[in-house]
Each structure stands twice: as structure tokens, then as C-alpha cells.
Amino acid sequence: MRALLLPVKLRANAKQRLAPLLPPPDRQALMSAMIADGFAAARAARAPEHVFVVTADPGIATLAERFGWTVLHETAQTSESASVDWASAQCESRGVTALLRLPLDLPAVTGPDIDAVFAIDADVVIVPSRDGTGTNAILRRPPTRFASHFGPDSLPKHAAAARRSGARLRILANRNIGMDVDDEADLRALLAHGGASGATRAWLDARADLVRALSV
């Protein structure tokens, strides 16, 4: 079974690197907008046969269940890697053979972008971040093939782990998946990208003052 794994942090703790630019309510509103757009992309994708959401956020859990997705409830969140690895083991135990972990801070991602990752004939597919050092998406066959190493320079760490496991590895550049938002530079890049739509576009449109400041 092919499945999508969407990890969602508690929104109150989201996007701390944007703190110099945005107060907590604005950061939470931006994160909620990107989650909405990520969920829309997941619903539009055709390749995944099921969607799993791993979260400790009750509001996100309720929304995911409304879509008919499986929620893997966390009681604590220690790290992205710990959440993804625990959830991956849960997915594998439920018959998942190919699992794509996709974060929800990708405001330009679309359903066809997700389908394009699943279409690659490889044991492991990594989609790099915009700067080429991070892992914005990773597909593993099977889901627990090796442990996660999210954080700084995660792409070479994941690539090395994939090779040690004997996997057929493919690094897949995707402009939309590569466009994540963590800090001010990312927001500037998003404006230049022009790909934000839906809820994130509405959030940007409502923040004309911010957009003008970032465009200087």
C-alpha cells in the first residue's frame, strides 16, 4: 500500500525562526494556512492509497478524521525524526509498503507534485529543500528502511543512510516541494516563487504591509 505521512507540530510552537518578523498569533495563522494548503494537496493527490497524520494537535486530528484519514496520536513531541520514525513503524504495521513523509510548511505543493514522487521507480526518493541541503520530502520503501535525520544537512545524512541500506536512491528536484517556509528569507523566496495559493495566498494578501516590507 502506498501512503502519505503528514507530521503536524503543535501550532503554538510553530515557526520560531520567524519570531523576529511575526508575533505568535501571526505565526500560528501562517502555519494554519500552510496546513490547509498541504491538506488540500494531499486530498488532490491520486497516488497515495491512504493518508496518515501524526500529531498532538487535537484540532488537526479532528480535521484529518473528517477527511477519513488515520490519525496517529502523539502524547509528546520530542523531535521531527522521532515523530516520523514512530509513525512510520505504525504505518508499516498496517500494511504500508511505500511511505512518503511530507511536511506541511510547503505552501506551493500540489497533488501532482505528490504523485510525481510516488511515480519514481526507486527504493528511496528524496526531494531537497530550496538550498539543496535539507530533506523536504522523503519516500521510503519499506517505511522503516532506515532512521530519520531531519535537521541541518539532513539530505546528505539521509542519502548516506539510504546507500548503507542498499537502497536504489533517487534525488528528485521539485520546485514546489522545495519551497518551504521557515524564516524571513523563505518568505522572500516564496514571494519570488509566486506559487502560493489557497489559504497561504489569502494570508499574504491580507498582509500587504508585510509583503511590501519583504519586497524591498
pLDDT of residue 216: 59
Residue spans of the chain under pLDDT 70: 13, 216
- Alpha carbon distance 141, 2 (integer Å): 9
Domain count across the chain: 1
Longest dimension (CA), the chain: 51
Given strand 50-55, what is the order of strands in its sheet?
A: 70-73, 50-55, 2-8, 98-101, 135-140, 124-128, 169-171
Among the listed residues 58, 73, 14, 64, the one whose alpha carbon sits nearest the alpha carbon of residue 39: 64
- Alpha carbon distance 31, 130 (integer Å): 19
DSSP code of residue 11: G
- Alpha carbon distance 4, 7 (integer Å): 10
pLDDT of residue 19: 81
- Alpha carbon distance 190, 176 (integer Å): 10
The domain that holds 202 is classified in CATH as: 3.90.550.10
- What domain range is 8 assigned to? 2-215
